[in-house]
Structure 1
Amino acid sequence: SLNSFKIYEVATKSRSAGDGLDFSKLANNDSYYELYYSNDAATHVLVHPDAQPEFIELLNGNTLSYKIVNHDAGLSLHREFETNRKLRNAHPYRGRLGTERYYSHGEINQYIEDLAKQHPTRVLVKTVGRSYEGRWLKTIRITNGDGRANKNVILMDGGFHAREWISPAAVVYAIGELVDNYEAYAQLLLDYDWVILPVVNADGYEYTQVSPDTRMWRKTRQPSSAACIGIDPNRNFDFHWNETGASSDPCSETYAGPKSFSEPEAIVVRDLIRGLADRGKMYLTVHSYGNYILYPWGYIDELPDTWEDLDEVGRAGGDAIKAATGTIYKVGCSTQLLYPAAGASDDYAFNAGFPISFTMELPAGGDNYFNPPPEDIDRLVKETWVGIVAMAQKVVEKYPLN
């Protein structure tokens, strides 16, 4: 339980200065600290009650200014859990997914199956694998129904990290727009099919819905050692696996796994990427939080040769969101803007042949940052869709059908 855990926001100096506190080292002590997020302006750290006096001493010793942004993480999660329970009862699944609440993996699978029944010429659902605990992972392929084969492909996924609930919500909203509102997006479906896997880490996602005490779970649910469970599926890909920004400690939040592709969920995404690489033009993986559109490389502090193409498409998304809502997204290489993360799916897809590959980090929300309240879902998913549409339009223009 996270009762009496506090979240601190620390004003961080620019990392290039190389001074001050090394938060990543601190985060290695996972039972007492968890690094939620860090950029060159601020760092959010969740701190165990027993470690709080020591943590404040550390901050003062490094003359870092800080504020407590959540005085009791556990308490706020208990309140949220009750709200979600009431909303589930008030809004049972009836064949459509709205934005009133967050939905379970089972409900999301049911929804895409129902869409395929309603639109048999335009929608195809395919079972692409099983999670460690045996949940079916399904993709939805959305077409315009003209039956032409070998179109270009946009591949999108959500729910890599269990607690990032706004990710599947945004991906499901995109599915609904493309299927139900497809006249508006005819141009995006003319020479392109969209293949979408709404929840990669189905076991973890379901686990976060069990109780307030499991809400902040991030990893998969496969036991990783006698003491700890779970692997970070977004460090489990075999492109520069277990290099920088990943951990060999089974108890770490960024544990890369005993070997690459140890996780069935990562294998599913790998096979999708490989199977579509010859036609795939954009891979988009949706995460939270932080307002970023990130592109490779994540394993090294270097830009790929074609970074200008990535930047152009990413900026189209960022600019569209800013114009629509005023929300600012930073666009750039993940190592330079955020932190190194080797073994991630975006680098893997880019290396496999997708010319455009992004991790989109949606805005924070709620008392624990990973938990935008249900009343914010509608605004956030619509804003995200504006960015996705703008990026897709740029991709369609840049990469016409061969």
Structure 2
Amino acid sequence: MRPPIQLVFLICFNIFLEKCICKSEHDQVLTITVSTQEHVDAVQNLTMSHNETELWQPASPIYITTNSEVHLYIRSTSVEFVTELLRKHGITYRMLLENTPALIEMQIKNDTSDPRSGGVFYERYHSLEDIYYWINKTKQDHSDMVKVILIGSSSEKRPLYVLKLSGRRDEVKRAMWIDCGIHARDDCLGADLNRNFDANWCTKGASDNPCDPTYCGQFPESELETQAVARFLRSHKDTVKLYLSIHSYSQMLLFPYSCSYDEIPNHNELFEVVKEASAKIRRYYRNNYKYGPGAKTIYLAPGGSDDWAYNLGIKYSFTFELQDRGRYGFLLPPSFIPQACNEALLATKVTALHVIKKLNEELP
């Protein structure tokens, strides 16, 4: 009798952080209610033409539609101008965040205690230096279970690592992949890596404008980070059975496709998986997560890593959008980290156990 299949964790650490860390006193975040086409046009023009605003939600001005909610980060020097413009057009808004410098400070402040030791490490945001330190320390402390694999370098010549967690067992032939922080907001620098994969690349829902947040790059896999991940996964496509990409924010559990409205062959199966995960998060943590295929649940987003992984042959492919739904957005206070992690872990457990069960059923 063959032993049951288990999954190895492959975790990719990228240097793109989904955090806005632009610092200015009295910056504000507004939530704007867009009710008419006139409102749509006005807010789209504002976000595309005014460089002291930053669109947090949706990801690009092209996604702003009637009866939608827009989250807009505004630098202090433009708050009066923006609010006056909104009032002029009769657009309803309210303040989400006013004291943004304090929230930013929570994320980047240095503590007198060693941030790399003890349980407090997992309740704070960390610099890339600290993350590298943690990777190396984890490898040293658990050399029988952990392997660090260099898969390439970033555009800034920083190493890109995969952390292989395989436990104390013989070679395992089935694995799951987890990556985090694949794209950020970078002021005309680089590309949105989650629009740079070869999955309906640069069609509706992406932009060929280098200054747009959803810039797709010059061609599929034009970016070094995308190349490194794609190269590694192609070489392990028969081993990786579950692909999971973790993002923030909006509290959603998504699966392909995001690049089109077509339904994937195993749509019903994956729908039931995220439905179960959402129900368990609601039961244990009293928090609501929307779920469904990306394009129908949010909007068209071609060139995404989860769609590309699915088309590669990884039939269990998901994207999790973590806390919150916009109260703090990209400035989520550190005190929210434990529950956000627990919710993500619970959803990961539900999906992983489902995949393990399916793989075991397929054993001869």
**TM-score bracket, shorter-length normalisation:** 0.7 to 0.9
Task: Quote the residue 1:53 is aligned against.
Answer: 84
2:266 corresponds to 1:306: yes
Match of 2:312 among 338, 345, 352: 352
Gapped regions of structure 2 (runs ≥ 5) = 1-22, 59-63
Encode CA deviations 1:265-320: one digit per residue, 9 max, x unaligned: 11122123212221222111000000101111111122212211221222232122
2:56 corresponds to 1:36: yes
Please give the alpha-carbon distance, in whole angstroms, between the structure 1 residues aligned to 2:125 and 2:270.
31
Higher mean C-alpha displacement, 259-268 vs 23-32: 23-32
Task: Quote the residue 1:237 is aligned against.
Answer: 197
Please give the alpha-carbon distance, in whole angstroms, between the structure 1 residues aligned to 2:153 and 2:105.
30
Please give the alpha-carbon distance, in whole angstroms, between the structure 2 residues aligned to 1:137 and 1:96.
25
Structure 2 counterpart of 1:66, one-letter code: Y
Local SS of the residue matching 1:282: strand
Cα distance 1:230–1:368, how it changes in 2: closer, same or farther (>3 A)?
farther
- Contact 2:108/2:126 (8 A) holds in 1: no
Cα distance 1:143–1:396, how it changes in 2: closer, same or farther (>3 A)?
same
Task: Quote the residue 2:354 is aligned against.
Answer: 394
Task: Quote the residue 1:134 is aligned against.
Answer: 157
Cα distance 1:315–1:366, how it changes in 2: closer, same or farther (>3 A)?
closer
Shift of residue 380 of structure 1?
A: 1.6
Task: Quote the residue 2:32 is aligned against.
Answer: 10
Task: Quote the residue 2:254 is aligned against.
Answer: 294
Mapping 1:340-379, distance limit 5 Å: 340-364=300-324, 368-379=328-339
Please give the alpha-carbon distance, in whole angstroms, between the structure 2 residues aligned to 1:389 and 1:30.
43
Local SS of the residue matching 1:90: coil
2:301 corresponds to 1:278: no
- Contact 1:246/1:341 (8 A) holds in 2: yes
Please give the alpha-carbon distance, in whole angstroms, between the structure 2 residues aligned to 1:88 and 1:139.
28
Local SS of the residue matching 1:395: helix
Task: Quote the residue 2:298 is aligned against.
Answer: 338
2:174 corresponds to 1:147: no
Task: Quote the residue 1:190 is aligned against.
Answer: none
Task: Quote the residue 2:18 is aligned against.
Answer: none
Shift of residue 142 of structure 1?
A: 1.0
- Using CA pairs under 8 Å that are at least 6 residues apart, name the structure with larger relative contact order, 1 or 2: 2
How many residue pairs get aligned? The number is 328
Task: Quote the residue 2:139 is aligned against.
Answer: 116
| TM-score normalised by length of structure 2 | 0.81
Identity %: 28
Cα distance 1:90–1:114, how it changes in 2: closer, same or farther (>3 A)?
closer
Shift of residue 18 of structure 1?
A: 8.0
Gapped regions of structure 1 (runs ≥ 5) = 163-217, 220-226
Cα distance 1:382–1:367, how it changes in 2: closer, same or farther (>3 A)?
same
Local SS of the residue matching 1:21: helix
Encode CA deviations 1:56-95: one digit per residue, 9 max, x unaligned: 333x1xxx53322234xxx52x223444454443333238
